[in-house]
Structure 1
Amino acid sequence: MKNERPVRLGILGCSDIARRRTLPAALKVPELTVAAVASRSEDNARAVAARFGGEAVVGYEALLESPDVDAVYVSLPTGLHHDWIVRALRAGKHVLAEKPLTARYPDTVTAVRLADSRGLTLMENLTFTQHSLHDAVREMLDEGSIGELRSLTGEFGFPPLPPGNVRYQPELAGGSLLDAGVYPLAAASMFLGPDLDVVGATLRMGTEAKVDVAGDALLCAPDGRTAHVSFGFEHAYRCAYTLWGSEGRIIVDRAFTPPPDFRPTVRLERADEVRERVLPADDQFAGTLACFVRAVTGGGSAAHSADVIARARLVSQVQGRARLLGDGWSGGADGR
């Protein structure tokens, strides 16, 4: 696809994250334009289109049929992702989908293969991976700031959500693993490599909403390095990872969801020094959208596909190997 005009993006779903972060960021990417906004509610579609541009469309299928849309952003509950991703790809549209790409590892593999077979871009909107903060951390590692990296710990958790929130609905693939756990799992893959294996995990189930509300996982790389990740909906807010090496530690706070005007701080701790480095602000949503446009106009994104599959495999391993905790729950999950 030649980059002679902006990529025309259609929006499937008017979610909170779309309104707050993704669509404001889209306005910052000149190579992208919002062409249409689809919702089951005409009022919602009109309200979002009035703010961000594009035609208001009632119904998702109608948007996929539009010849004026090159790519779609799937901003629906996780349990609906796979169906609409497949429909969009079969309609010849490139796809950017909210994280996680799908709720099941086999569905992720199927979707990626379908996109590849049709020469279309399929990306997961796990935006923190595009923040320049993590490039700075990689540079510190490469410079030997903490010696040899031995292990990683990562946490993403926040207080309970209002009753009825979509994250508490099992039929829509709710739960803390798919919503929050994917972040520290992705951080572990980012720094320890894609071939991690889950060697132990727990998921704590809610007493009313039958989804996991908290969890932990221990992972091991082929070279013996390890990661411990924690996540959930029952915590004081924490959003961080720590890299522990042979000669020190790198601590990153506000690691996964920094606002676009936030200047992140990286803390380096060694035996003889403690140093903090304040980094430039960055809009990770705009960075992700720009990356998506480059993939669309350049024809696919095989490297990203491999990363998505690797992350989905880790989530599936946590599901399949976790000990379930909570009232009336015991044993392990089935990993589906």
Structure 2
Amino acid sequence: MIDCINLLEDQKLVVTWDLGRRCNYDCSYCPPNRHDKVSPYAELSKLKKTAKFVLDYCNTLVSYKKSNNKDHQLISISFTGGEPTVHPDFLKFVHFIGEERKKFTGEYAGLSLTTNGQFSTIMAKNIVNNFDFATISYHAEALPTQKKKVLENIEFMHSKGFELKVNVMFHAEYFDECVTVCDNLKKLNIKFIPRLIGEHEDSKDSDAHKYTPKQQEWVNEYWGLKVKPKKDKKAREIGRPCCGDRTMEINGNKKTKFLQHTKFSGWFCSVNWFFLHIDENTEEIYHHQTCQARFDETRGAIGKISETDLILSNLKNNLKNKTMPIIVCPLEPDAHCGCGMCTPKSIDGYQFKKILSNHIEDMSIFSM
């Protein structure tokens, strides 16, 4: 039985910034509220204002976090969508935030990108020149010409020494193709993660999309799992890997990158110290995109983009007055860990504070 999880590597604060719903794909497993071809683009002036809040917020939090390596990036700002590269001012905004991050006195903030890789060679060159890292998703149900272009972009960016990772979206109907893609990426020494479809509760096929026992055997073998599948299972029944490929420590001894248990209702959690999510479409800010946990044991936004001054003021006051709250995972039927499950957490309050002390300089800041 799992009662605590610690994060052993890549302990930076990750900002996922959804620039809008516009996308050049229409994946069958992506929910309608996550992509479209008609949503308005966020205005560049508003993006610039929000960028200053993000950097100030992150700089404030990381000043309280431990760092064993002072040269290590403690902040990563990751642009998502929709498809972020379709925004007409995308590169202008990237250039702006690239300069703005230099003004802050805290640790250097890295820029990363989550994309489907469906863009021109010119865009690929710009990404190599302006970003520190990219996650590219391979969607097997795309057109052959689209998949060919994505793989060409992946190989081109890798050849330039650019750091990237490929999320291979394992569609059950294209399972063998996905295995082949993984094999080829491995030969090229390109990082990849086999991603099961239907991991998130708002996926269109979270209940319908299932993997056969034979397909599960491949997943089990890849992740070193010992469970023998007996029936078709949904992704949430199988478990999931850390989407950041981070190593977690379970119960103080076992190390893994894959959790078969992803429901932690009632657990003490530090997700707010490791994640922040900005949603330009709804103009809302969350501790985390998928779990949406708040300090009052409910799920939802912590405020609107128009309320960034208040959000920042509350954070600084809590830290200064040593009244920083601790998140308890909401006791809701659908509450479960997706991306972000790697964050330190425990079902026991004492054990949680012990784990958290590995990451926070001064534990007296907490009201717990």
Structures share fold, TM-score greater than 0.5: no
Length-normalised TM-score, structure 2: 0.29
Q: Please state which structure has a larger fraction of its residues in strand.
A: 1
Length-normalised TM-score, structure 1: 0.31
> Comparing both chains, which one has the higher relative contact order based on Cα–Cα distances under 8 Å and sequence gaps of 6 or more?
2
